[in-house]
Structure 1
Amino acid sequence: MNKKNNPLIFKKLKKLYLLFLISILCINSIIAQSFIANGIAYNITSSETPFTVEVTKKEQKYIGAIKIPEEIMHGEKTYTVTSIGNEAFQYCSSITNIELPNSIQHIGELAFMNCRKLSQIEIPDNVKTIGNNAFIYCHELAKVSLGSSLTSIGDNAFRYCYLLENIEIPDQVTYIGDLAFHSCSILSSVKIGKSVVTIGGDAFSSCKELTTIQLPNTVKTIGDGAFRNCDKLTSVGLGDSVETLGDMAFDNCISLSNITLPNTLKYMGGSVFYNCIALESINIPDLVQSIGYYAFERCSSLNSVTIGKSVKSIGQEAFSECEKISSLIIPNSVESIGIGAFAQCTNLTSIVFGKSISSIGQNAFRGCHSMQEITCYSIDPPRLDWWVFTDVSKTIPLYVLRQSIDAYKSATGWKDFTNIQYEIINDNGILYVISSIEPNEVTVIGTEISGKIDIPSEIAHKYYDFKVASIEAEAFKDNNQIDEIVLPNTTTTIGERAFYNCGNLEKVSLGSSVDIVGVSAFEKCNKLTSVQLPDPLEEIASNTFKDCSSLTSIEFGMTLTTIGNSAFVGCISINSIEIPNSVKSIKGKAFEGCIELSNLTIGSSVSSIGYYAFKNCTGLSSIICLSITPPNLSSDVFGGVDKTIPVYVPTESFTDYQTADQWKDFFNIKTGIESNNTINFIVYPNPVIDMLVVDGILPDTQISIYDMRGKQIYTRISKTTKVQLDFSSFYKGVYILKVEENKKKGVALVVKN
């Protein structure tokens, strides 16, 4: 061949020749690294200190009893035997016994595959890993002792070891491989060490004699099919750290009757408990977001199901043919229910859908012919695929939220039900309707009991706890059977005419949270004697206490700003009114006709008083007005009031009151009140006979009392936010009470009767 004419071909031949030489050298090197001693083949794994070898396969199969030494001489060197190489004893079907030295650290893949007559083996304590398929098809292997240093068991490691009866997984093992003990058909006892994190797919599947299993708290993952077809498995302890249950993890465990899923569980695969016909109850933890397809299909003994509050989807046929389930609560988190999810649950009588359900797959409840009622808390009707409620009677009650009735009556699939209604909940004789879901709130709509009505802060109904948030308009209207009402601190709203004309109602406790009281809420409650209004209330609506003829005292909250039209008109028994400093406006006729009203204190912030507000309050004997600027009066505010009674006003405002419209009609305007109040506090009762309460101050506040001539007659330092002052020895008349704290001050006039 002419090199000049064929340079490219020459270069290629040269490369092939070099590769051939390299291959010959490698083969010679391998041959040089392998040797046989005492009938056992070895491969040198380290030719430098420390000198090590692994046992390897040889052309003539091993037979009989094999004892592997800890060390072996070769040439002039002593080698430590540290591993059983891959395929070392593969298909050595005549080996009856093998003894491994303590120096062994690793057993390779397929190392003892198909050693059919091997009956027992002791894995030394220094072995850290057992490779994939290491003992697969060792059909007569009945006894295995695993060393204490073992950390992982490979895939298929002991698969088809039909005579293996028990196994103890050492505490250092973290991983049990896929199919590791698959079809160990008489394996009845398994003890799993305290470090295992992962149990591989089908690791113990078809272990027909396994009855119980207890996993350590370290296990986080149970692989697909890990325990499926374990026919005699009755109970499982999953520990408290499992996060994942793979597909078919306990599929067809027909004797499994008891299992507790830990709160750490996040994922449940498909068919995870398929055909577990003995399983009676299941509680799905709150971290789980989906229930896989066929998860509990054919669990024919399952009678109790609790679905966690984070589940968003329920998969196809997840609970189909669960014949003993009688009731279901679908939590608010669930958005979709898959095809046939609860099909053929033939004893299912009731189901509650949470607020988030938006779609239900075809045949989801097909064959549920025992259904007696359905409740759906979704405001908008969920979308229904075909035949969702086939075989379910359409005359049973379908309970929906009150505001959603019309929507369900016109929605595809739902409109087929002829008895769509909202629920009236009777809890201990008090009647409620659901007003919202998340927040879960109910509204009181009435009662079936008499006497004292003590309304609870919350009630339980169909899995949910509901807060009692409001009293419906006209809830107790014309009810003459009740004499006392106690509202919880959760109630914020009292509807219009809620207690209208409750003729025998004597006592009312409004709780601490009411901020809305509707028009005429207590109108004509003519036996009601006293009311304390809570601080959140800013407005007393029109006619709220109109014609409450027995009402003698009213205590206003410290955030009240408005007293509405005719709020107390006709309250003929009220003898004293102290309008707090927070009030800015008193509307028309607010206290008209309160003929027993003798003492009136108007707070410092009142700027306007509506027409006839105090008209015909003929019993008035004194008025105290703390406002620096005379409040603007509409027409005839004090009509019928004696104009000779004393009217006490701030000192600097004396002239303004003497010239202000309608104020100037009073002949006996007096001074002695300081203005510029910067402490908002209250005093009661006012007028006082013996003990006066000063409330809303700070500790270390100085309290002083002066007579109308300005002489100090009492002083003290408060140690609390509320104090009592003894007025029993004071003469009848008007007194000035001053409070001072860190340059802040406040003043009130107190009438002593």
Structure 2
Amino acid sequence: MKHLITLIIFVAIGLMSAQAQWILTSGDVEMSGNTITAYVGTKTDIIIPATINIDGNDVEVKEIGANAFQSKGLTKVVLSDGITTLNGFSFADNEITELTLPTTLATITGGDFNNNKITTLNGAASKGLIYARNSDATVDETTIVSYGGDATTVNFIPDAVTTIGDNAFSHTLVEHFTIGSNVTALGDRSFDECSNLQTISLTNGKLTEIGQYAFHKSLGLNSVEIPSTVTTLGDGVFSYSSLKEATFESGTDIEVLPQLMFENAGSLQQFEVPNSVTKIGNYCFMRSGIEEFTFESSSKVVSIGSHCFQETDLGAISIPASVTTIYSAAFQACENLSYVSFDEGSQISTFGSYLFRDCTINTLVFPETVNVMGTDFFDGAHIENLVFMSNPGSINPNAFRNSNITFVNGMPFDNGLLFLHRDDNGTLDKTRISAYVGSATKINFIPAEVKTISTNAFKDKNISSVSIPASVTTIEDGAFADNTSLSSLEFESGSLLQSIGSNAFENCYFTSLEIPA
């Protein structure tokens, strides 16, 4: 009798164990075709079967949709043979300790088991590393696609691993990470929103690529050194991070700082560009904490992207001689930017629109090579001293619109007259008007010492009347062309005018005109 009671107890325990692992039915899931799109059940120890009976029909389960079982309090999960695909974060943010994956699984998208407590995988002890699958559903031990363990210090990446896949550690609670000895690539968003990440060691002599947004919103990471072996950085790689220091290992060959690289990295106050870099991408430091920005000697930077330093606390910057182009709004709303200069031998030739929009600058010195200034170049800018070392080849008519500039080349800038031309010795020619960028329609303020009005200086300015001082000897080609409202032109008594260039008054309609003899 005693043996019979013991047998009954064992049977009862076995039944209870079997009943604890719940096989999903149609009432537990939402499906689209052969894909489970959502888990609506309450069981935490589950088996996902190969088929689910829906309205009397056995429907094969082939795929688990993105986020389908995320944050459901699961503790144990068995995926049955027949399931082939997991579509991303499908079982993330649970309490899974035991996991069984099918032999038919051919695709694990990334992050599928992140933020769990896996200690057992397919019946064997596990640290929670989930590997990619080959097309024949065999395990690809070279690529980690998900971390489902609960260790906060990860220093156990196997030597066989060469790739940390997209989203592999994103949203996990990892605090300290050491890269594996043979890892060559960190995938896109591989550590995205790892808010607890404090230290990361990337130097292994083999890492070449860090993907897009790899450390986006890593709010506990204070410093990082990018190994000299890295040649490619993805967009937004450290955006919205808490980095205070970001450096490159000596000997780096990195050529591009990608767009959005440090966007909104509010704690990053200093940065030095390695001399291997040739391009700084759009929005690279936008809204970061940058105050001091320097370039290593012998800089090779050719271009600075649009909105690169927008809304930063940058105080001063010296542009390397190698830079030829700075794109639109690169310094927009840099309210603390007091000084901008260009290194000797500057090759700069082209600037985009809105470059210094809403900036407050004490001194801005443009080199001799400047050829083009875009629309609203100085829009909203407050500049005390603006210096041109030569006459720019092209000044957009609206370049100075809505600007607040005190002096241009040492001359008061209260009427929109620009004196930009210099002689062979570099001395400013204060007798030649280079351009007019004001808004007045009655031009009666040309200084008495002016001798020359340059080509196209007042072209298409909606001018209605002009008074030419007696000192003017030359009016060059197209100087007042296309002012269709210009009806009155007066020459001061005793005029010394000697020549008027071709088309100087083209498309002007005078009611009366008297040219000095």
Matches within 5 A, 1:692-707: none
Alpha-carbon distance in structure 2 between the residues aligned to 1:43 and 1:81: 16
The answer for the alignment partner of 1:717 in structure 2 is none
The answer for the alignment partner of 2:330 in structure 1 is 272
Q: 1:214 and 2:272 equivalent?
A: yes
Q: 1:234 and 2:296 equivalent?
A: no
Alpha-carbon distance in structure 2 between the residues aligned to 1:372 and 1:322: 28
- Which stretch shifts more, 182-191 or 200-209? 182-191
After superposition, the C-alpha distances for 1:436-484 in whole angstroms (9 at most, x for unaligned) are: xxxxxxxxxxxxxxxxxxxxxxxxxxxxxxxxxxxxxxxxxxxxxxxxx
Change (3 A) 1:207 1:416: farther
User: What SS does structure 2 have at the residue aligned with 1:182?
Assistant: coil
After superposition, the C-alpha distances for 1:155-196 in whole angstroms (9 at most, x for unaligned) are: 111011112111111112122211110121343343366111
The answer for the alignment partner of 1:257 in structure 2 is 316
Change (3 A) 1:360 1:331: same
Change (3 A) 1:307 1:383: farther
Change (3 A) 1:216 1:405: closer
Instruction: Work out which of the residue numbers 266, 282, 305 in structure 2 matches 1:224.
Output: 282
Alpha-carbon distance in structure 1 between the residues aligned to 2:341 and 2:210: 31
User: What SS does structure 2 have at the residue aligned with 1:141?
Assistant: coil
After superposition, the C-alpha distances for 1:56-98 in whole angstroms (9 at most, x for unaligned) are: 76669523898468999xxxxx97731112xx248x8x66333
Question: Identity rate of aligned residues, in percent?
Answer: 18
User: What SS does structure 2 have at the residue aligned with 1:325?
Assistant: strand
- Could you list the runs of 5+ residues in structure 2 that have no partner in the other structure? 1-58, 64-79, 87-96, 120-125, 133-137, 412-417, 423-432, 497-517
Instruction: Work out which of the residue numbers 459, 475, 498 in structure 2 matches 1:404.
Output: 475
User: What SS does structure 1 have at the residue aligned with 2:382?
Assistant: coil
Q: Is the 8 A contact 1:122 1:145 kept in 2?
A: yes
Change (3 A) 1:326 1:102: same
Deviation at 1:199, TM superposition (A): 1.5
Alpha-carbon distance in structure 2 between the residues aligned to 1:130 and 1:295: 35
Matches within 5 A, 1:176-191: 176-191=233-248
After superposition, the C-alpha distances for 1:726-745 in whole angstroms (9 at most, x for unaligned) are: xxxxxxxxxxxxxxxxxxxx
Instruction: Work out which of the residue numbers 254, 269, 273 in structure 2 matches 1:196.
Output: 254
Alpha-carbon distance in structure 2 between the residues aligned to 1:152 and 1:282: 34
Alpha-carbon distance in structure 1 between the residues aligned to 2:129 and 2:481: 85
Equivalent residue letter for 2:229: Q
Q: Is the 8 A contact 2:460 2:482 kept in 1?
A: no
Matches within 5 A, 1:608-647: none
Alpha-carbon distance in structure 2 between the residues aligned to 1:141 and 1:334: 50
Change (3 A) 1:249 1:59: closer
Alpha-carbon distance in structure 1 between the residues aligned to 2:494 and 2:176: 71
TM-score by length of 1: 0.42
Instruction: Work out which of the residue numbers 369, 379, 387 in structure 2 matches 1:309.
Output: 369
Q: Is the 8 A contact 2:287 2:312 kept in 1?
A: yes
TM-score by length of 2: 0.58
Alpha-carbon distance in structure 2 between the residues aligned to 1:69 and 1:409: 74
Change (3 A) 1:409 1:268: closer
Change (3 A) 1:161 1:195: same
- State which structure, 1 or 2, has the greater radius of gyration over its C-alpha atoms: 1
Matches within 5 A, 1:655-694: none
Change (3 A) 1:251 1:61: closer
Deviation at 1:26, TM superposition (A): 8.1
The answer for the alignment partner of 2:171 in structure 1 is 114
Q: Is the 8 A contact 1:362 1:386 kept in 2?
A: no
Change (3 A) 1:43 1:419: farther
The answer for the alignment partner of 2:214 in structure 1 is 157
Q: Is the 8 A contact 1:251 1:273 kept in 2?
A: yes
The answer for the alignment partner of 1:352 in structure 2 is 419
Alpha-carbon distance in structure 1 between the residues aligned to 2:192 and 2:454: 55
Q: Which has the higher contact order (CA 8 A, sep 6+)?
A: 2
User: What SS does structure 2 have at the residue aligned with 1:323?
Assistant: strand
Alpha-carbon distance in structure 2 between the residues aligned to 1:286 and 1:417: 43
Change (3 A) 1:404 1:179: same
Q: 1:139 and 2:195 equivalent?
A: yes
Instruction: Work out which of the residue numbers 328, 350, 353 in structure 2 matches 1:293.
Output: 353
After superposition, the C-alpha distances for 1:85-139 in whole angstroms (9 at most, x for unaligned) are: 2xx248x8x6633332232211111222212x32121122322111111111111
Equivalent residue letter for 2:192: I
The answer for the alignment partner of 1:83 in structure 2 is 143
Q: Is the 8 A contact 1:192 1:215 kept in 2?
A: no
User: What SS does structure 1 have at the residue aligned with 2:384?
Assistant: coil
The answer for the alignment partner of 2:304 in structure 1 is 245
User: What SS does structure 2 have at the residue aligned with 1:301?
Assistant: strand
Q: Is the 8 A contact 2:222 2:244 kept in 1?
A: yes
Matches within 5 A, 1:221-620: 221-237=279-295, 240-263=299-322, 265-276=323-334, 277-283=336-342, 287-318=347-378, 320-329=380-389, 331-334=391-394, 336-341=396-401, 343-348=403-408, 349-350=410-411, 351-353=418-420, 378-385=454-461, 402-404=473-475, 412=483
